[in-house]
Amino acid sequence: MTPREQEEARSELRRRRRAILAATREAGEEHEALRTAERGQEVEEEAQAEQGLVDLERLGDAERLELRRIDAAVARLDEGGYGTCATCGATIEPRRLQALPWAVLCTGCEETRELVASR
Ligand SMILES: [Zn+2]
């Protein structure tokens, strides 16, 4: 994988992460406004928002799983191993990484895993 491809993967992962967090924030805003009115904690809530703290409780299971996958993929970009199949060590197909930038397995190993899981 070339450094350029790695950078593209990194920005795609960032973009997806931001999209999840933005959607979560929107969904939580109404709820947040109510809580703020009730407790009068406006200042504290604003400080939290500025720090970019994420209320993971608010995320659905699917979003939480995707965030974990994205963070793990970013870690592999930093530490090495991104784009390499965790099972057989083959290079993961570029087309697969474009569709699923957090992919850990190559297509062949993923299909085997799904077969085993569906038994
Ligand atoms: Zn593999």
Look up the pTM and report it. 0.70
Domain residues for the domain of 34 are: 3-118
Q: Which two tokens stand for residue 90?
A: 């083959």
Give the pLDDT confidence score for residue 28 in this predicted structure: 72
Domain count, the chain: 1
How confident is the model at residue 13, as a pLDDT?
A: 96
Gap from CA of 106 to ligand 1 centroid (Å): 4
Report the chain's terminal Cα–Cα distance, integer Å.
34
**Radius of gyration for the alpha carbons in the chain, expressed in angstroms and rounded:** 18
Average pLDDT of the residues in 49-72: 76
pLDDT over threshold 60, residue 52: no
DSSP 33: H
Share of the chain above pLDDT 70, in %: 76
Binned at pLDDT 50, 70 and 90, residue 49 comes out as low
Question: Cα of 95 to ligand 1 centre, how many Å?
Answer: 15
Match 């090495």 to its residue by tokens.
80
Domain CATH for 59 = 1.20.120.910
Q: Tell how far the Cα of 21 is from the centroid of ligand 1, in angstroms.
A: 31
- pLDDT per residue as tens digits for the range 66-86: 999 999 999 999 999 999 999
